[in-house]
């Protein structure tokens, strides 16, 4: 370790740089994850929180790290143009994957920011409070943004009606939309907790029958790469996407904005992304996002078929366990997600016990899994707090094997036996006398 006086004169702050402070400089070290787990001893079943980096994306990023210059994509010199070329190539790749025009793709830092930009940008462009119809199964980034907007008097909220399996009840929705006449509708193409796929095309038609100029936002983060996603086909004016849910790097997302739609961006700054989302674009993350989107689109048919087989297998195995119930629609599904209710066992305990067994699962959205005690999707579909406390989310991908799902089912059976046994012994134990 070397102590350097970077001020250049003395320690009284007369020099430049750090004002004469002693700065301790250590040799550069390779960044490693000190809490890393051995993947060979683990089974990863939390793909909805983040999919493993695709091998071709990893290879491309390693090459870019070694060859890419320091250029800012907004600069007009050679280095800047090289960075801009990567950004625009990825824009074309993502646009083609969802049937959009490249200029309609606006880069964000991820799905959460894309959702916030869609909501706040739309509300900000309105002259007063906006009537909003929302999907109760939406991601927390949608629900919390809407609640804050309502608290500030910028939105009046009405829930879209749900059936018990999580699908929007379109007959009830038609009557509700005609009555409430919302100018903004936000819906998830697929639920991140149930995997249920919504008929957003019909919903958008119903919304515009009630209000012809209604703006429809579709959060496609949980659907992208698993089911066909087409901007026009979903009826979306705005569509949110995320890189790390499809095997790209974290730190990149996109909001597809229909040409001609005016947004009032909540962030001010430079003119990047047509002024809708100012700030220097993260070139590496965006480049990886583009590659993941392109490869995912090419392999979608094969991926969907494999996920359907894995889903059916896992559902059958888990349903055979005592006191286990699977929630969500069987067919209108991304086929990569199972919300599993474990009777007589708190979901948080089950997640922790499975982790010790070598299986990574979750309670729901990673954004709120550390604070939520109940799975929101089961509350929204009327299954009650007990079921919501006893649920875990299992999500997988095309690299998952049936052997891994079989091993998971056996591990879950062991874990539930231990937890239920401990609970039964606790209930049977005589109460201790408490003396003053």
Catalytically active residues are: 367
Spatial distance between the Cα atoms of 305 and 308, rounded to a whole number of angstroms? 5
What count of other Cβ atoms lies within 10 Å of the Cβ of residue 55? Answer: 10
DSSP 91-112: HHHHHHHHT--GGGEEEESSHH
- For residues 215 and 184, what is the distance between their CA atoms, to the nearest angstrom? 5
CB count within 10 Å of CB 230 equals 15
Q: What DSSP line would sit under 267-285, residue for residue?
A: S-SS-GGGGTS-S---HHH
CA distances from 418 to 350, 413, 421 (A): 10, 9, 5
Dist. CA 51–CA 47, nearest whole Å:
5
Beta-bridged to residue 239, according to DSSP, are 218, 256
**What is the rounded CA–CA span in Å between residue 295 and residue 94?**
10
How far is it, in rounded angstroms, from Cα 404 to Cα 39? Answer: 13
Backbone phi, psi, residue 325, to 5°: -130, 135
* List of residues 6+ apart from 269 with CB closer than 8 A: 278, 279
Closest CA to 353 of 316, 408, 428: 408
- Degrees (nearest 5) of the Cα angle 419, 421, 427? 105
CA atoms within 13 A on the CB side of 309: 11
Q: Which residues contact 87 (CB under 8 A, 6 or more apart)?
A: 73, 107, 281, 283, 286, 287
Is residue 225 left, alpha or beta, with left meaning phi > 0 and alpha meaning psi from -120 to 50? left
The string of DSSP letters for 352-367 reads HHHHHHTEE-BSS-TT
Are residues 132 and 217 in contact, defined by beta-carbon separation less than 8 angstroms? Answer: no
Q: In this structure, are residues 259 and 101 in contact, taking their beta carbons and an 8 Å threshold?
A: yes
Q: Please count the other Cβ atoms lying within 10 Å of the Cβ belonging to residue 363.
A: 25
Residues 6+ apart with CB under 8 A from 66: none
């Amino acid at each position: 370790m070397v102590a350097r006086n970077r001020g250049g004169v003395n320690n009284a702050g007369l020099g430049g740089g750090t004002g004469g402070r002693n700065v301790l400089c250590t040799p550069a070290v390779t960044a490693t994850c000190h809490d890393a787990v051995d993947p060979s001893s683990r089974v990863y079943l939390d793909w909805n929180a983040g999919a493993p980096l695709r091998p071709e994306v990893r290879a491309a990023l390693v090459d870019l790290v070694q060859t890419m210059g320091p250029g800012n994509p907004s600069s007009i010199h050679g280095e800047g143009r090289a960075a801009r070329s990567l950004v625009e190539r990825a824009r074309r790749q993502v646009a083609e994957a969802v049937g959009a025009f490249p200029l309609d793709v606006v880069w964000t830092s991820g799905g959460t920011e894309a959702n916030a930009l869609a909501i706040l940008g739309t509300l900000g462009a309105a002259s007063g409070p906006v009537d909003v119809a929302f999907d109760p199964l939406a991601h927390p980034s949608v629900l919390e943004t809407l609640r804050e907007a309502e608290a500030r008097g910028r939105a009046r909220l009405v829930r879209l009606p749900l059936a018990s399996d999580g699908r929007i009840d379109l007959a009830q929705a038609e009557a509700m939309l005609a009555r409430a006449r919302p100018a903004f509708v936000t819906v998830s193409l697929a639920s991140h907790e149930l995997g249920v796929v919504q008929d957003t095309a019909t919903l958008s038609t119903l919304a515009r029958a009630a209000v012809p100029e209604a703006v429809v936002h579709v959060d496609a983060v949980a659907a992208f790469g698993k089911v066909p996603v087409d901007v026009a086909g979903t009826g979306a004016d705005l569509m949110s996407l995320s890189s790390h849910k499809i095997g790209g790097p974290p730190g990149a997302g996109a909001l597809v904005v229909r040409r001609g739609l005016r947004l009032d961006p909540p962030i001010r700054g430079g003119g990047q992304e047509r002024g809708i989302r100012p700030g220097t674009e993260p070139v590496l993350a965006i480049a990886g996002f583009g590659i993941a989107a392109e490869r995912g689109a090419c392999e979608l048919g094969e991926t969907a078929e494999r996920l359907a087989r894995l889903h059916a297998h896992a559902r059958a195995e888990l349903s055979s366990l005592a006191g286990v119930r699977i929630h969500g629609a069987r067919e209108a599904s991304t086929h990569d997600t199972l919300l599993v209710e474990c009777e007589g066992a708190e979901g948080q305990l089950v997640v922790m016990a499975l982790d010790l067994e070598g299986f990574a699962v979750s309670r729901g959205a990673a954004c709120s899994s550390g604070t939520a005690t109940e799975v929101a999707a089961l509350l929204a579909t009327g299954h009650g707090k007990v079921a919501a406390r006893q649920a875990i989310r299992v999500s997988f991908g095309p690299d998952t094997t049936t052997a891994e799902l079989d091993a998971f089912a056996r591990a879950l059976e062991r874990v539930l036996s231990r937890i239920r046994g401990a609970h039964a012994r606790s209930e049977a134990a005589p109460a201790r006398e408490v003396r003053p």
